[in-house]
Amino acid sequence: MLPKQLLHLVFGGELTRLDGTEFRDLSKLDIVGIYPDYASALAAWKAKAQQTVDNAHIRYFIVHLHRLLEP
């Protein structure tokens, strides 16, 4: 039997404020990808976060899609 898929979305962009989660321009969101497990999503998140470390306003997030898909 295959392991259960626990889909995760990694995305990010420039925030309007450092203490918030509102994006400056939704048309410029960076959709990194959808991953089959948290470990894969975390690796992608870390890579993107490291690339943008010089700009404090750019943040990346992991969304647990599998939680949104369960009834």
Say if 3 falls within a structural domain: no
Say if 2 falls within a structural domain: no
Are 60 and 48 spatial neighbours (Cβ–Cβ below 8 Å)? Answer: yes
Per the structure, the complete domain to which residue 60 belongs is given by: 8-69
Mean pLDDT by 10 residues, the chain (71 residues): 87 96 97 96 97 94 90 67
pTM, whole model, 2 decimals?
0.89
Give the H/E segment covering residue 11.
strand 8-14
CB-CB neighbours of 13 under 10 Å: 19
CATH of residue 52's domain is 3.30.70.2400
pLDDT at position 71 is 67
pLDDT at position 70 is 73
Say if 24 falls within a structural domain: yes
Report the distance separating Cα 28 and Cα 21, nearest Å.
15
pLDDT at position 52 is 93
pLDDT at position 1 is 73
**Structural domain total, the chain:** 1
The phi-psi region of residue 33 (left if phi > 0; otherwise alpha if psi is between -120 and 50; otherwise beta) is: left
